[in-house]
A and B are shown apart, each in its own frame.
Chain A
């Protein structure tokens, strides 16, 4: 019996975990480490993304291949969203009213800089892949 399995059973015996949790833990132990963990990739500290990349590849029938490659620093995005805080209050009211009329119950005044920072911090996990049939267009948005 491996040390990990014995530890789980000890925790179960001690009442620290439930039977279901013990079952899940033992199943995870039996599955072994993931390939990423086995190669040490999981232990590598994740670096914070610095750039937002937008890559567009398209093949136009008349114009031929078109490539667009944008690398924008996330800092620029962060500074850009802070511009929202400069919207005058009366304009905010108008925007809120227009949003409500279109069924979006969103209040611009509720957006705080902390929320925006949090949003951008989590953009690192974002990947958008769009494959369009027209012009064989491929759009990829990700952070690096």
Chain B
């Protein structure tokens, strides 16, 4: 299953009064919006794969697996001045 949501949290300053962002990203909408462009790019992708002698179906399968595996990834960076957290669900 591809990730359907993500959260990006940004905080400025270490204190609780600091500036905070909490941005939920509905990835499902991103995928839906990107779908027409992906369909348009598909023939180019196939031609590029065939030109470089790579099996396009295998390439698509691996990219799909890569996308699916992004779920539960969590990256956080904390600093005195700011911190950022990216969590993909």
Contacts and interface: CB of A to CB of B under 8 A. Distances in A.
Does A pair with B?
yes
A80 interface: yes
Interface string A73-115: 1011011101101101111000000000000000000000000
Nearest to A82: B62
Nearest to A78: B69
B52 A88 contact: yes
Interface residues of B, number: 22
A70 interface: yes
Interface string A46-74: 00000100000000000111111111110
Interface of A: 51, 63-73, 75-76, 78-80, 82-83, 85-86, 88-91
A50 to B, nearest CB: 8
Contact of B62 (A69, A70, A72, A79): A79
Given A85-B58, A86-B54, A69 B75 contact: yes
28 contacts: A63-B80, A63-B81, A64-B79, A65-B80, A67-B78, A69-B76, A71-B72, A73-B70, A73-B73, A76-B66, A79-B62, A79-B65, A79-B66, A79-B68, A79-B69, A80-B66, A80-B69, A82-B62, A83-B66, A85-B62, A86-B54, A86-B58, A88-B52, A88-B53, A88-B54, A90-B52, A90-B53, A91-B52
Contacts of A79: 62, 65-66, 68-69
A71 B73 contact: yes
A85 B80 CA distance: 42
